[in-house]
Amino acid sequence: MALYDHYLGPNAVDNTASKAEKALANSSYRNEQRRWNFEKYATQQKRQHIILENLVQHGYKGIDERTKVRYLLDGIKTDSLDTVKTQILSNQEYRNSFDKCVTLFSDFIKQTTGDVAPTRTISQVTVKVKGGNELQLPSNPEDISD
């Protein structure tokens, strides 16, 4: 019984729920990046939902769909998705479905940014050559003349 209380007793359930709720509140999405995109943001949120849903059988009251959507919207920190947020807030069906909101955001992001991850270019490279001289190379190889 002590082992059960340690891992699934009221205090353990409260601590796990607090940790998951804090992770929901602290996660954020700003824009598509190589290592962090909307899909990863939504997946992180979904993992916390699963943790909270699994605690229901141990005394946690649960997380409703509107709260899930609220956490999702609160974590989006870019103005470029305000039109999608407005559509969600004005539509009861979306306000009550985390999965539909994620699909709507994902579709919008794919349509506006494409499926390509952002790329970064180097504008200039400076190389030190023998004798202490510096050679500046352009970023575009086509700019190099023979």
Query: With bands split at pLDDT 50, 70 and 90, how would you rate the model's confidence at 64?
Result: very high
Position 103 in a domain: yes
The backbone torsions φ and ψ at residue 108, rounded to the nearest 5 degrees and listed phi first, read -65, -45
Q: Is residue 146 part of a domain?
A: no
Q: How high does pLDDT run on average in the chain? A: 84
Number of domains in the chain: 1
Is 16's pLDDT higher than 80? yes
- pLDDT at residue 140 is higher than 70: no
Position 2 scores a pLDDT of 64
- Residue 130 resides in a domain: no
Neighbours of 48 (CB within 10 A): 21
Does the residue 92 lie in any domain? yes
pLDDT score recorded for residue 17: 95
In a domain, residue 71? The reply is: yes
pLDDT of residue 146: 47
Measured CA angle at 21 (ends 17, 23), to 5 deg: 120
Query: Is 142 domain-assigned?
Result: no
Q: What is this structure's pTM?
A: 0.72
The whole domain housing 33 covers: 2-113
The answer to whether position 43 is within a domain reads yes
Tokens found for residue 66: 């509107």
Domain presence at residue 134 = no
Q: Which residues pair with 126 in a beta bridge?
A: 136
